[in-house]
């Protein structure tokens, strides 16, 4: 499977997962469980594609800037949706761009430390400073009352983002093990076992089912369409949110 095929599969799984999320009150429980189970594989597949593509992107700076701007947009978009369309359930935390950005930053920092220790340590200091800035701003008016999910879109935080720091570490591991499928598979299985042992992780350990898809990766990029995900992500979440709360009630 090419990177495009894996990313498109992740896109479909994400759509199914969000259908189960937004229509949990109107769909049969068994169907909701199926949709959410299938959806557990979406995020790991996106991280796998990021790990494979990050080493081949022409300009990492432009790629990271694109992720940051997308994260800012999603943060402001989420804030606008919850303000303009207040509901009991809310729009939800949808900002996969933040952890993807952080994974890229961590990867670049680690690689730079290996090649140029002094420059790498400066980058690590900048990443640490970003975390300190988040804490300072979060306790400063007028940001004190702002949701952490929104603020992390503006000032990316390693701990406060979709799925948290453990999945950032998974994405980083996927990158450095990208040419070692056997070790990657073992590490992924251990990660799934860890998710199973965590009481608050829910069904996330079921992400194990997409490992065979990752192992079928053939090293090919496939069709471009890089903007598909950037457009589809906010569009489908808002449409599902609106249909579930206003159009189909």
- Cα(199)–Cα(33) distance, rounded to whole angstroms? 18
Question: Tell me: the pLDDT tens digits for 35-53?
Answer: 999 999 999 999 999 999 8
Q: Dihedral sign for Cα 210, 212, 218, 219, please.
A: positive
Extract the runs of DSSP E, i.e. beta strands, from 153-231. Answer: none
Beta-carbon contacts of residue 73 (< 8 Å; ≥ 6 apart): 234
Query: What are the tokens at 234?
Result: 């906010």
Domain count for the chain, please give it: 1
What pLDDT sits at residue 59?
87
Query: What are the tokens at 185?
Result: 């598979």
Query: What are the tokens at 101?
Result: 């950005």
Q: Dihedral sign for Cα 167, 131, 100, 115, please.
A: negative
Question: Tell me: the pLDDT tens digits for 149-194?
Answer: 889 999 999 998 888 899 999 999 999 999 999 999 999 999 999 9
CB 173 within 8 A of CB 54: no
- CA angle, residues 32, 205, 27, in degrees to nearest 5: 5
- Cα(92)–Cα(241) distance, rounded to whole angstroms? 9
Half-sphere exposure of 47 (CA within 13 A, CB side): 30
Q: List b or e across 135-154, with b for residues whose CB sees 16 or more CB atoms inside 10 angstroms.
A: eeebeeeeeeeeeebbbbbb
Query: What are the tokens at 64?
Result: 């990271």
CB 138 within 8 A of CB 151: yes
Overall average pLDDT of the 109-131 stretch: 91
What pLDDT sits at residue 198?
80
Residue ranges making up the domain that contains 189: 3-247
What pLDDT sits at residue 29?
93
What pLDDT sits at residue 248?
67
Range name among 49-58, 131-140, 190-199, 222-231 with the lowest pLDDT average:
222-231
CB 95 within 8 A of CB 149: yes
What pLDDT sits at residue 92?
84
How far CA 102 is from CA of 62, 148, 191, 205, in Å, comes to: 14, 16, 19, 22
């Amino acid at each position: 499977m090419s990177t495009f095929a894996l990313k498109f599969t992740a896109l479909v799984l994400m759509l199914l997962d969000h259908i189960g999320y937004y229509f949990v009150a109107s769909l049969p429980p068994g169907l909701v469980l199926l949709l959410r189970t299938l959806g557990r594989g979406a995020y790991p597949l996106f991280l796998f594609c990021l790990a494979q593509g990050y080493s081949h992107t022409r300009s990492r700076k432009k790629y990271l800037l694109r992720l940051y701007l997308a994260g800012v947009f999603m943060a402001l978009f989420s804030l606008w949706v919850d303000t303009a369309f207040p509901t009991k359930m809310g729009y939800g935390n949808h900002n996969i761009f933040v952890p993807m950005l952080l994974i890229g930053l961590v990867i670049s920092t680690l690689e730079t430390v290996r090649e140029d220790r002094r420059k790498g340590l400066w980058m690590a200091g900048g990443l640490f400073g970003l975390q300190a800035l988040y804490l300072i701003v979060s306790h400063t008016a007028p940001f004190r009352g702002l949701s952490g999910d929104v603020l992390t879109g503006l000032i990316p935080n390693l701990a406060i983002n979709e799925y948290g720091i453990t999945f950032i570490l998974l994405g980083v591991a996927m990158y450095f093990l990208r040419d070692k499928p056997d070790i990657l598979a073992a590490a992924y299985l251990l990660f799934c076992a860890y998710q199973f042992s965590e009481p608050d992780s829910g069904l996330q350990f079921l992400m194990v089912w997409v490992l065979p898809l990752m192992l079928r990766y053939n090293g090919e990029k496939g069709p471009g369409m890089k903007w598909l995900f950037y457009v589809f992500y906010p569009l489908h979440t808002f449409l599902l949110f609106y249909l579930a709360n206003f159009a189909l009630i």
